[in-house]
Every structure is written in structure tokens, then in C-alpha cells.
């Protein structure tokens, strides 16, 4: 096969010389050196496309034949020319055959290793769902990534539990609250992946009251008043339909508030953090929560301050130090300690978390 190539190329080269040489003196061809120092330059694109630019070179070489090592067709190039080819990640043997003017050739093999960039700048946001107990929401972004996997860390559950495109959210429902060794794996075109591991605390949510079904009876005192109404400010922070409107009219007592009763005692042993969504036109207003048992013989109170104006926010209360009791009464006070000035407040979604 090499001899055939040599004869064929010699004929072509001789035709070129004869057609371009007036003197027809071709004795110098006997002194043409065999190609040497034959190799190739590989320029591998860094965008995970697999694009490689190959430029063969060699002394006394005028024509090159390239076997690209991936089963594609043989490429013929003149000296100084390049070719492009797209490879998958892996190792390839590139065969380079260099020919001189008279068809003498030198053949060498060069190893080409195509390695893609693993996903970089992995950014993960994972949070407990605000509305569903023991549910987490995940979103991951990374450069050079196309998908990502979520490993929940649960024993006896096939992993990964979810896979989606990079930048798209995953919601996963755990069976039990607790702490899990979870991880997110970003995957791209590269064999190598990028991982993010964390100790994920999955929280249980026990709604005390969300006011969606109505039927809540309020005991008002201090000249304050509460009523369930349609949410006047449905937003991302609180998209629910029903909320409680609390009015503290001018001259209302500093302790004006409302009380409602729930059907079952709260489990403060396993879920000692109470959260409530509030809407206040005032920043820094004291929102006091008092929990009582049925006959008010046991009572515990915690204060929090509003931090935003005229928008929904969630306030948290630590009841871990509350005495053990069957708490079934919830008392809510807005702007506690100040007399009423006809301000309207709203609250919604009281819940317990761990």
C-alpha cells in the first residue's frame, strides 16, 4: 500500500515539476531528503465541544496524510495546512504520513488525549419547603454542566432520587425528618463530575392554623379585633388565599390582641420553633405570641420585631424553654406596648418546625 502511495504521489509531483520547470533539469530530485521530525500540533478547544485543530509538520515534507484515529476518512493536507475534527472525550492514535517531493515518506503515530472540563462554579441552593412538611427544594447551577443529580442520603432508597437539567428545580419529599448526608452531582460532557455534599436538616412542619378553611373563632381583648379575610397582598412571600386582619383602633390598649384555640395540643418537644407570617406597615413593631393551656394555668410568651414595611415576612419564635404543657391557645399581639393608632396588621400560617 505504501509503495502504491509512493508511486502515485511521485507521478503527481513529477507532473507538477515538469509543468512548472522550463529547464526540465530534475537531477536535484535525487538529493531530496526523506521527511524527518514529523509530528503534529494539537489545538484542543476548551469549551467541551471536542473540537481539535490538527496541524502536521515535518522537515522536507510537502504533503501529509492523516488518519484521525476515530474511524473517519483519511485527510490529505499540504504543508502548512490544518484540519479540524470533533472528538468525544478519550484517547486517540493519530497516524501522520509525511511525503517529500519524490514520494518518499515517513510515518509516525502521535497520541491525542481529549479531556473535557468538569463542571465548574457549582452553586447549590437547597431549602426546606415553607408549606409542605419534610419536603426540600433544590436548584443547582454550574458552568460546563448539562444536568445534575440529587442524592437524598436516605438508607434503603435507590440513589440518585432525582435528576434534572442544570438550572431547573427539584422538589423531593422525605419520609422522615432528620439530618441526612445529601449531595448534588453536576454532570457535563466530561467524564469527571463535580459534587457538593452537605448535612441536610429536613424539617417537619406542623401547621397550627392557616385560616384557609374558615371557622376560626377569635376572642378579642383590649379593643383590638381579628377577622379572616381574603389576602390583600398575595405575593411570592405569601400566596395563600385567606389571612387574618387585625385592627388596633385609636385608643386601643397597649395589650390589644386576639386569641384562638386549636383542636390538639402542640408538640413543642419535637418542634419547638413557632413561625408566623406577618404584614405590618411599621418596622420594629413588637409581635408577641403567647401560648397557653386550656385553663391558662401554664403560659409562655416570646417576642419578635417586624423588619419590613407593608410586605409579608416570616417571624420565628423559640419555645424550647416553655414548660411542658398541653398548649392549645394562641394569643397574638401587634405593636405590643403601644396604644392603638388605627393601624391594620395581618397574620397567617402559624406553624411549628424543629
| pLDDT > 90: percent of the chain | 84
pLDDT of residue 353: 87
One-character DSSP codes across 191-219: S--EEEEEEEEE--EEEEE--SS-----E
Give me the domains of the chain, ranges plus CATH numbers. 2-114 (2.60.40.10), 120-203 (2.60.40.10), 207-353 (2.60.120.260)
What are the pLDDT digits (tens) for 220-254? 999 999 999 999 999 999 999 999 999 999 999 99
Q: Residue 15: what pLDDT? A: 55
Per-residue pLDDT at 46 = 85
- Give the integer Cα–Cα distance in Å for 272 and 277: 17
CB atoms within 10 A of CB 316: 11
pLDDT of residue 13: 54
Question: How far, in Å, CA of 212 to CA of 229, rounded?
Answer: 10
pLDDT of residue 98: 97
pLDDT confidence of residue 281: 98
pLDDT tens, position by position, 282-303:
999 999 999 999 999 999 999 9
* pLDDT for residue 4: 42
The ranges of the chain with pLDDT < 70 are: 1-30
The pLDDT value recorded for residue 8 is: 47
Classify residue 256 by its DSSP letter.
-
Amino acid at each position: 500500500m505504501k509503495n502504491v502511495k509512493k508511486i502515485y504521489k511521485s507521478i503527481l509531483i513529477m507532473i507538477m515539476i515538469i509543468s512548472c520547470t522550463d529547464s526540465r533539469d530534475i537531477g536535484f530530485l535525487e538529493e531530496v531528503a526523506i521527511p524527518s521530525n514529523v509530528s503534529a500540533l494539537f489545538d484542543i478547544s476548551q469549551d467541551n465541544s471536542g473540537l481539535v485543530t490538527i496541524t502536521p509538520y515535518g522537515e522536507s515534507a510537502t504533503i501529509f496524510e492523516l488518519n484521525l484515529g476515530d474511524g473517519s476518512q483519511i485527510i490529505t493536507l499540504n504543508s502548512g495546512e490544518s484540519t479540524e475534527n470533533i472528538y468525544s472525550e478519550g484517547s486517540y492514535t493519530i497516524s501522520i504520513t509525511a511525503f517529500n517531493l519524490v514520494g518518499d515518506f515517513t510515518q509516525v503515530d502521535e497520541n491525542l488525549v481529549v479531556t473535557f472540563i468538569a463542571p465548574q462554579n457549582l452553586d447549590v441552593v437547597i431549602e426546606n419547603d415553607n408549606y409542605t412538611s419534610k419536603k426540600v427544594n433544590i436548584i443547582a447551577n454550574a458552568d460546563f454542566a448539562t444536568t445534575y443529580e440529587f442524592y437524598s442520603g436516605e438508607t434503603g432508597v435507590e440513589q440518585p432520587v432525582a435528576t434534572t437539567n442544570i438550572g431547573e428545580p427539584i422538589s423531593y419529599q422525605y419520609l422522615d425528618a432528620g439530618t441526612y448526608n445529601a449531595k448534588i452531582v453536576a454532570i457535563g460532557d466530561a467524564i469527571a463530575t463535580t459534587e457538593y455534599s452537605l448535612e441536610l436538616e429536613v424539617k417537619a412542619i406542623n401547621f397550627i392554623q392557616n385560616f384557609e378553611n374558615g371557622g376560626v373563632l377569635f376572642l378579642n381583648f383590649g379593643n383590638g379585633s381579628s377577622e379572616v379575610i381574603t389576602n390583600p397582598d398575595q405575593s411570592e412571600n405569601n400566596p395563600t388565599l385567606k389571612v387574618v386582619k387585625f385592627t388596633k383602633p385609636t385608643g386601643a390598649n397597649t395589650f390589644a390582641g386576639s386569641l384562638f384555640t386549636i383542636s390538639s395540643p402542640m408538640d413543642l418537644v419535637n418542634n419547638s420553633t413557632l413561625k408566623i407570617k406577618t404584614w405590618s406597615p411599621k418596622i420594629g413593631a413588637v409581635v408577641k405570641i403567647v401560648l397557653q393551656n386550656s385553663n391558662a394555668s401554664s403560659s409562655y410568651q416570646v417576642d419578635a420585631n417586624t423588619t419590613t414595611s407593608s410586605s409579608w415576612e416570616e417571624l420565628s419564635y423559640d419555645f424550647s424553654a416553655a414548660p411542658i404543657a398541653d398548649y392549645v391557645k394562641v394569643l397574638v399581639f401587634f405593636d405590643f406596648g403601644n396604644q392603638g393608632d388605627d393601624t391594620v396588621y395581618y397574620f397567617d400560617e402559624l406553624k411549628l418546625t424543629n
